Amino acid sequence: MTDAQIEYVLNNNCCAGLLIQNFVHEKVRLISANYLHLRKYYPSWSKGKCFWEASRETFQLLLDVIGVVPAVGEVADLTNGLIYTINGDGLNASLSFASAVPVAGWGAVGAKFAIKTVAVAGGGKVALGMIKGAGGLITFGKTSKLRAAIKLTDASKHAHHIIPRSLYRHQIIQNAAKSEKAFHIDEALNGMAIDKWRNTNHPSYNDIIEFKLENFKNENPSASYDECYDFLLDLIDEAKDAINNNPTLKLQNLIF
């Protein structure tokens, strides 16, 4: 196929019947743009390689959704893991939109899958998935993408979630995720590189964060989603300062 024919197939959504139609309608345009970008800047790559790299991250996001479905989820997770193994960090697809579409099946009536695309340190973007269940609970995928979001390649360091991933169910975090800016637990603003020796098991650190979340919730019972988001940003800055100002302490021993 020629480049023009590939672009035509993508833009006219020829394979929409295989996927969630509303999701595909937007995604294929992004894949088309990515494909043309790669053909221009990587002329030595074959058309097949350009197409795969342009579409791979979207494909893996779909596998993330399928990964929560009983029985078939394990297959999707294995497929996703194989792709990551083959590609390493790979090439971050240049996705540029966030959307929410109904997720069909497994009895989760009203569940939604959202994609938030965020800039990463040093340039580029990473797509982060969120699933909103029928009860309104937002989950952030089973696998953390924080290391990719902060572009951490140093094996001697850990990617530390400043707001711990284990607290994702807390009302303030849930509200912030539903805000206009859609807080995601794995985005770069919630992460920093930490020496491995500092980032061991840290229940006391988690307790401090949870205490501050609870305190804000109790003092601000009517806080809007956006106000919860703003509070998280302030809390993240406070925790970052404590971590940076005490470079000889493990996270477990911090007091702030």
**Segment 166-177 mean pLDDT:** 95
Instruction: Please tell me the distance from the alpha carbon of residue 203 to that of residue 11, in angstroms, as a whole number.
Output: 50
* Res 122: pLDDT: 64
**Which band of pLDDT confidence, cut at 50, 70 and 90, is reported for residue 139?**
confident
* Pairwise CA distance, residues 12 & 120, whole Å: 31
pLDDT confidence of 157, banded at 50, 70, 90?
very high
Reported as a pLDDT band with limits 50, 70 and 90, residue 127 is low
- Could you report the per-residue pLDDT of 52-102, keeping only the tens digit for each? 778 777 776 666 555 545 455 545 544 555 454 445 433 222 222 223 334
CA–CA separation, 19 and 26 (whole Å): 12
192-218: per-residue pLDDT in tens?
999 999 988 899 999 999 999 999 999
Give the chain's length. 256
CA distance 187 to 215: 24
pLDDT digits (tens, 9 = 90+) for 39-51: 888 889 888 888 8
**pLDDT higher than threshold 60 for residue 104:** no
Answer yes or no: is pLDDT of 234 > 90.
Answer: yes
Query: pLDDT at position 117, please?
Result: 67
- In which band, very low, low, confident or very high, does the pLDDT at 8 lie, cut at 50, 70 and 90? low
CA distances from 154 to 148, 193, 195, 250 (A): 12, 9, 10, 19
Confidence at 29, pLDDT banded by 50, 70, 90: confident
Query: Dihedral of the CA atoms 132, 232, 96, 112 (nearest 10)?
Result: 0
State how far the Cα of 18 lies from the Cα of 43, in Å rounded to an integer.
30
